Amino acid sequence: MKIEEDFLHFIWQNRLFSNQNLFADNQKVEILQTGFLNTYSGPDFSLSKIKIGDTLWAGNVEIHVKASDWFKHNHQKDEAYKNVILHVVYENDIESEELPPCLELKGHISDEIIKNYQSIKNEKGWLPCAKLFHLSKTTKNNIWFERLLIDRIERKTEEISSLFQKSNQDLEQTMFVFIAKSLGLKANSFPFEILSLQTPIKILLKYGNDSAIVEAILLGQAGFLNTPKDEYSIELKNNYEFYKLKHNLESLSNKIWKTGGVRPYNQPTLKIVQLAQLVINLFPFSDKVMNQNFIELKKLFKIKTSPYWDNHYSIGKESSIKQKKLGEAAINSIIINTIVPYYFFIAKHRDKQELKEKALSFLENIPPEKNSIIFNWKEFNVELKSAWNTQSLIEQKNNYCNKLLCLKCGIGNQIIKSATK
């Protein structure tokens, strides 16, 4: 049975050990305050209060699996450890006058707690706590999952903030990049990012009333008009060459785009044309997106491409006639990954908490997402009412389960602590 130091941190922090008959250096120990976990260098816990014998001590606590680890880590030579008041270990395997008073936890931690922890730690399946998931009460309330959801949105908000600073605080350009990336999906997210960074939204907005010009500029910038294949693309190329010269634009190589293995409806040329329509519908972003309710917001995504695209997915290649609208899944994905973080960004900068509440209400109005992660979560009978739930579960899986951060996870905490009840 292997005990690890981070597990002992968890045990100490949550006082998951028996307080009876605790001794250090043959003196009775009383834990008044375990202290605060230190995430930087130095002793593990600070501001601890420990009574040893008749003396009350206040200071730092260091935790190791074995007492001899003190010397392995050369703490005896480090001034930062001179004021350690208690050395907490699982096994006291050495005696030395150079050591602080040593408290051994072996025999004071419930076998059931250790068993639950080992079960989670050694599980190789999709979910580390799969066999013990039923012990978690976290799934019966929203506190932990709300934290997961907010963490996920805040991380995306930081991405917006970072690009906002890099783009000379041009919020319209920043959001143009994020809308473009959302349309690119996994296959072409990066090329769409490059395209949007290289095409100033201010130029596109000059021609916001003429979708043909916006379409020509974007397709030309993407490198798809280098070799025209029909009358339509010849006309687009002529338009692009005029505006390229006028605005000193520089096109990309079309080799950066992935077309092979990409479904017809996700072909980059079609997505670029849809982006042109979104530029017209959504921008200026601050004016058109900020004050919408959910129904009005979704209407902004009800775009219609030019008649040419009714029987084309790519330039010069005819297909069966079908109007190329943005699907519900695509619209919902853009709202989830771009609009909601945007509202959080504005809420932070304008100190308007109500915008965050509005953004969260958008998620509650979007049906549960359908992907492999959510499909696997269904096995555990978790609540799946809306994207509010699915976004938090994706965060749970990606940033806790996959990284085996069970001791920092609300579900893992509940499972391990359940052995004390």
**E strand or H helix at 10, and its extent?**
helix 5-13
Tell me, what's the pLDDT at 67? 96
Tell me, what's the pLDDT at 400? 95
With residues binned 3-state (H G I as helix, E B as strand, rest as coil), the percentages for the chain, rounded to 5, are 55, 10, 35
CB-based contacts of 101, cutoff 8 Å, min separation 6: 24, 25, 27, 29, 52, 85, 86, 87
Tell me, what's the pLDDT at 141? 62
Q: Which residues, listed in sequence order, are joined to residue 314 by a DSSP beta bridge?
A: 317
CB-based contacts of 68, cutoff 8 Å, min separation 6: 93, 94
Tell me, what's the pLDDT at 138? 63
Q: What residue type is 324 in one-letter code?
A: K
Closest by CA to 207, choosing from 193, 230, 226, 199, is 199
Residues in the chain: 421
The tens-digit pLDDT sequence of the chain (421 residues) is 689 999 999 999 999 999 899 999 999 999 999 999 998 889 999 999 999 999 999 999 999 999 999 999 999 999 999 999 999 999 999 989 889 999 999 999 999 999 999 989 888 889 999 989 888 876 656 789 999 999 999 999 999 999 999 999 999 999 999 999 999 988 999 999 999 999 999 999 999 889 999 999 999 999 999 988 899 999 999 999 999 999 999 999 999 999 999 999 999 999 999 999 999 999 999 889 988 999 999 999 999 898 999 999 989 888 888 888 899 999 999 999 999 999 999 999 999 999 999 999 999 999 999 999 999 999 998 889 999 999 999 999 999 999 999 999 999 988 888 876 5
Tell me, what's the pLDDT at 402? 94
How far is 88 from 1, CA to CA, in rounded Å? 19
Give me the residue label for tokens 């294949």: 229
Q: What angle do CA 1, 408, 382 make, to 5 degrees?
A: 100
**Would you kindly state where each structural domain of the chain is located, as residue ranges?**
5-109, 167-326
The pTM of this model reads 0.87
Tell me, what's the pLDDT at 291? 85
Q: Give yes or no for a contact between 41 and 127, defined as CB atoms under 8 angstroms apart.
A: no
Tell me, what's the pLDDT at 369? 96
Within 10 A of 311 (CB to CB), how many other CB atoms are there?
14
Which phi and psi angles does 206 have, rounded to 5°?
-65, -25
Distance between start and end Cα atoms, the chain = 23
Tell me, what's the pLDDT at 219? 97
Within 10 A of 321 (CB to CB), how many other CB atoms are there?
9
Tell me, what's the pLDDT at 232? 93
Q: Which residues, listed in sequence order, are joined to residue 63 by a DSSP beta bridge?
A: 88
How far is 155 from 371, CA to CA, in rounded Å? 21
Q: Are strands 45-52 and 36-37 parallel, antiparallel or unpaired?
A: antiparallel
DSSP 8-state code for residue 366:
S
